[in-house]
Amino acid sequence: MPDAALAHSLEPRIAPAEGSAGADTGSVLPVSAAGLVFTVNGKRLVDIDRLTLQAGGPTIVMGPNGAGKSLLLRLLHGLIAASEGTVLFNAQQMSARVRRRQAMVFQRPVVLRRSVQANIDYALAAAHGYRGFSRRERLRELLEMGGLADMARQRARTLSGGEQQRLALVRAVAASPDLLFLDEPTSSLDPASTHRIEALIHRFAEEGTKIVMVTHDLGQARRLAAEVVFMHRGKVTEQTPANVFFDAPSSPAARDFIAGRLLV
Ligand SMILES: Nc1ncnc2c1ncn2[C@@H]1O[C@H](COP(=O)(O)OP(=O)(O)OP(=O)(O)O)[C@@H](O)[C@H]1O
């Protein structure tokens, strides 16, 4: 991701917002999209009648290349504007508070040009409720969580890809967001790094963060998913509990995808 896009994607998520800590209450879930369309040059790249993401276990978004999965995450996260339709967060429009309660991690880790601990502290400084001792304690906790304590003072951009992705993840959850979007966060990582990232995702989910994640890895989807949203040609063709999806997908496209037969 180019630096300008990187700054755009990172800064608004963790920028300080107006208001007091007392105003920062109430979940942003469920997320409800209605009539959501994203068009480029007259082509409807995303075209979703209705989609609701409830609090609970991870939602895994699957589908072939070009199905519109990344665009969907970017639309829901507010990184790109819809051509038509609405996205509501617990019946509220996107706002500074809604932005603060959600985060996104990309396929290629986004880290700032500063130390590992300064990357995390940047997010904590922007978050309400972390001052003085609690901020230092949370920083220590996040470094431990990410297996990064020994690298706290190292420049973030000198970390390995897997380490950078762990940093991106713990920074994203620094302020305990309600909602975390993950766009293929392990696609370029080795099995050990993937395992560590999955363990972190499990932990965040158990702590109450709603995970909405794109992956192409069927094994990973089986390990993490509570439900699956399947996309094909810009549309959501099914949204089902994970066991139902893997045992008996209802759409022909999903059946072909699981069998490795669906290309576009
Ligand atoms: N800004 C854009 N302008 C034109 N086409 C775009 C734009 N952004 C995305 N697309 C197209 O929209 C389609 C969906 O893109 P998207 O990145 O959401 O797919 P995806 O399901 O995440 O695919 P993959 O699994 O390959 O990452 C693709 O065909 C892509 O080329």
Residue 68 Rama label (left phi>0; alpha psi -120 to 50; beta)? left
264 lines ligand 1 (CB under 6 A): no
> Pairing relation of β-strands 227-232 and 235-241?
antiparallel
Nearest CA to ligand 1 atom 18: 68
51-69 pLDDT, tens per residue? 999 999 999 999 999 999 9
232 lines ligand 1 (CB under 6 A): no
Could you tell me the two tokens for 87? Answer: 């996205």
234 lines ligand 1 (CB under 6 A): no
How many residues can be counted in the chain?
264
Say which amino acid occupies 101.
R
- What DSSP string describes 125-169? HHSTT--HHHHHHHHHHHHHHTT-GGGTTSBGGGS-HHHHHHHHH
Helix, strand or coil, per DSSP, at residue 113? coil
Contact 220, 186 (CB under 8 A): yes
Q: What pLDDT does residue 133 have? A: 83
Nearest CA to ligand 1 atom 9: 71
Which residues share a beta bridge with 52?
32
Distance 234 CA to ligand 1 centre (A): 9
Q: What pLDDT does residue 132 have? A: 83
Q: What pLDDT does residue 56 have? A: 96
124-160 pLDDT, tens per residue? 988 877 788 889 999 999 999 999 999 999 999 999 9
Q: What pLDDT does residue 228 have? A: 98
Q: What pLDDT does residue 130 have? A: 79
Low-confidence ranges of the chain (pLDDT < 70): 1-25, 262-264
Task: Provide CB contacts within 8 A for 204, sequence distance 6+.
Answer: 169, 173, 180, 211
Mutate to test the pocket of ligand 1, among 38, 43, 45, 187 (most ligand atoms within 8 A of CB): 45
